[in-house]
Structure 1
Amino acid sequence: MNRKYVVNFLQFCFGVLIFLVRCSHSIEPMTIGAAIGAASVGISYFKGQTYCRLYECCDDRSIPANVQALHQSLQKKLYGQHIAVQHIISALSAHFNSQVKSRKPLVFSFHGEPGTGKSFVADQIVQALYLQGSNSAYVVKYMGRADFAQAELVGTYRERIYREVHNRLSSCPRSLFIFDEVDKMPSGVFDTLKSLLDYNGLADGTDITQAIFIFLSNNGGTQIAEHLGNSMKGGKLREDIRLSDYESLLQRAAYNMDGGLKKTSLIEAYVIDHYIPFLPLEKAHVLKCVEAEFQRWEKTPDRNIINDILSSMSYDRIHALFVSSGCKTLEKKVAMAIN
């Protein structure tokens, strides 16, 4: 059954409804009510059994929200980020818990230096929650430098964000919004979002409680690295570092540093649920990234090439523990080395 046929049939059904309404003056009220009700149920059933089996709909088939698959993927493919894995999985599991209805959207703010996995994790979330992944009509991604580059247009950007987010939520309450490069956005760009992210909801009845928002920023990355380095040199194991060590630090960094979250009402009103630190990577983590790239190319890891790549890496100047670029440039380095 092709899409055109399904759409035409649905249009026919709605046409029948309109006809019944127009003729309602000559039909008993109870009869017309029953007819409209039956037609509505029929249309809903038909759509669920045909159109939504073939094309994306805002339902459980198209949005399976497979948090378990996400957990397995992150454990296998993400290195050195035990805090992120633990708290992202817990937050998503709670958000999708059918026994406890959420009263507001789920809002994450990911922080860390480039190459630590922020964008990777956001992409993994999209792939696990939506059947069509990044091609889903219910996933919206904004890039700071591309979408909101000019500070003098911040008023226009506010209106655009509010309008587009509201329209998407009206279409599908289970939409996901990703704002990348938040540190490259002008201050104040998110201020109109507060009403869409808070507990109060919207007067027009739009369901905002099922949505997810993810903000990605490099802000706070230096502070994370400094705190982790000091902790490790003080004898604390990396695996013993907890989210509580970083939450207030990241909240202050996001609020005070230049970027889209600077002095924002989103932070003042406490609508961001989780500030997630992405820890800087050590040599052992980068080694795993290199080996994973070889596997992606279906090649046996070449120790000479790996050693050459690792020796070309630079480390942070303060502690000399963390690879400055994380795993960010490894894909191209490996590709060049094996071709």
Structure 2
Amino acid sequence: MGLPIFAIGTVAAMLWAALHIQGTTRFVPEACANVASFLPAHVVGQDLAISQLVDAVCEHLASDSDGSSSSSSSSSRAQAPRKPLIISVHGPPGVGKTFTHTLLARALYNKDPAAAVDCPGEQCKGAKVLYGLNYLEGDRAGQLGQVRSAVLDHLRSAPNPLLVVEEYDKLDCDSRGLLRQLVRHPELANSSMSRAIVLLESNLGFLELEAMLTAAGGDKSQITPEAAESRLREVVLSAWRRPPACEALEDTLAFGAAVDFFLPFFPLTRPEITALMEMELRSRYGSRLEAAGGFLRPEPAALTWLVDRVDFAGGSYPIEGAKQVSTVCVKHVSRLVRKAQEELKAARSRGAAAHGHGQAHGQGHKDKGSGQQQHLHLQHHVGSVVVAAEYVLSVAPSGRELQLLPVEED
């Protein structure tokens, strides 16, 4: 006898939960492949950092699956149990550090990272982000205790945690002590952190990275991972030794040694801002037009016009990174796209009404084509109004603004 309908529904719900909900605290089997494809496809201008991040994460995950951490491991591995993967990420604001850790969480905890829109959130419960550890002077000890409890509870409850600490270079002495203890002695969390990934993010070192990039003539491919890591490690250790010194020199050096990778997020260049601007136009505004039945085609001159509105402060790099890409588009493109959406919506309404009217009064005029052909024709011409599926974004004749015009039929 078959299962009752309600039982089948329950089984289906349990299977869905096993495939999706549990993955929000455990890295999915496809995690390495996800990271290797998802991050490079979405992060612009940071090839050096992303390639190292992909390799580091995949190697970290592989060490559990290839038996290197099993009971049959060598005696040296048994004496030195695996530690969390700890990565220090550096660069100026707006160059992709936060974006990258968000993409990483989506790739680690979801079979389809592109569909994981609630992340951080329900679809990435294993990820926790600390946005700086600054406290009110009156209750510093109490707040630090709360943060410590929250971090430890998360590490114990998530089998495969991803912990992100933003602006970690600005930690006060107490917070730094908490972080140092966690990094150097993860066993104190009273849980297995062998698969944990810890990202320490900071703006520290961005001037040094800019100087390296300028010395390389703006060619990031000329900068080696070793050169960037050496410079960043030096900057971090020097910063942590400035007064007030919270720890002995050996503790600072031991903390630096616990960090596996120092990843450089360089300033963005003008060609990279141009690429980001094109991605913004196609993903945000192009998708809106497509939903209304249209297609957005930006002309190269329009892209150049938009990039010229980004503040480079007279230098080679934008002072706010990619932040202005979205705001420039809001100022100069969003209204044009809304107007085009309204035109397409009105055209569809008039076309549908005309099509219905034609059906009501007979469909015997074969010389004018079928009803379907008439409907397609009305998507382009509605009376004297021309509405095209393709809209071209170009610079207006005045040069002071953009225009979004439909492509008329011949």
Q: TM-score range by the shorter chain?
A: 0.7 to 0.9
Where in structure 1 are there 5+ consecutive unaligned residues?
6-45
Q: 1:221 aligns with which of 198, 206, 216?
A: 206
Residue in 1 aligned with 2:129? 141
Out of 73, 87, 92, the residue aligned to residue 52 of structure 2 is: 87
Q: Highest relative contact order (Cα 8 Å, sep 6+), 1 or 2?
A: 1
What is the DSSP-based 3-state SS (H/G/I as helix, E as strand, rest coil) of the residue aligned with 1:96? helix
Paired residue secondary structure (2:310) = coil
Match of 1:197 in 2: 183
Structure 2: segments with no counterpart, 5+ residues: 1-6, 70-80, 111-115, 287-295, 336-410
CA distance in 2, matches of 1:77, 1:274: 21
**Contact preservation (8 Å) 1:183, 1:217:** yes
Equivalent position to 1:238, from 206, 220, 231 = 220
Identical-pair percentage? 20
Q: Higher Cα Rg: structure 1 or 2?
A: 2
Amino acid of the structure 2 residue aligned with 1:138: G
Match of 2:281 in 1: 294
**1:219 partner amino acid:** L
In the alignment, is residue 173 of structure 1 matched against residue 152 of structure 2? no
TM-score, normalisation: structure 2: 0.61
Aligned partner of 2:92: which letter? Answer: E
Structure 2 vs 1, CA of residues 203 and 219 (structure 1 numbering), >3 Å: closer, same or farther?
closer
> In the alignment, is residue 66 of structure 1 matched against residue 53 of structure 2?
no
User: Closer, same or farther in 2 for the Cα pair 1:183/1:194, shift >3 Å?
Assistant: closer
Shift in CA distance, 232/56, structure 1 to aligned 2, threshold 3 Å:
same
Residues 1-339 of structure 1 correspond to what in structure 2 (within 5 A)? 52-53=17-18, 56-57=21-22, 63-64=28-29, 66-97=31-62, 98-99=65-66, 100-101=68-69, 103-131=82-110, 133-135=119-121, 136-144=124-132, 148-150=134-136, 155-198=141-184, 201-202=186-187, 205-232=190-217, 237-257=219-239, 265=251, 268-269=254-255, 270-296=257-283, 297-298=285-286, 299-315=296-312, 320-338=315-333, 339=335
Amino acid in structure 2 at the alignment position of 1:168? H
Q: Is the 8 A contact 2:23 2:109 kept in 1?
A: no
The size of the alignment, in residue pairs, is 285
- Counterpart in the other structure of 2:391: none
- TM-score, with length taken from structure 1: 0.73
Q: Which string of whole-angstrom CA distances, capped at 9 and with x for unpartnered residues, describes residues 136-183 of structure 1? A: 322111212xx5254676544543333222211221231111112334
Distance (Å, rounded) in 2 between the aligned partners of 1:256 and 1:154: 26
RMSD: 3.3
Q: Which amino acid aligns with 1:239?
A: S
Corresponding residue SS for 1:202: helix
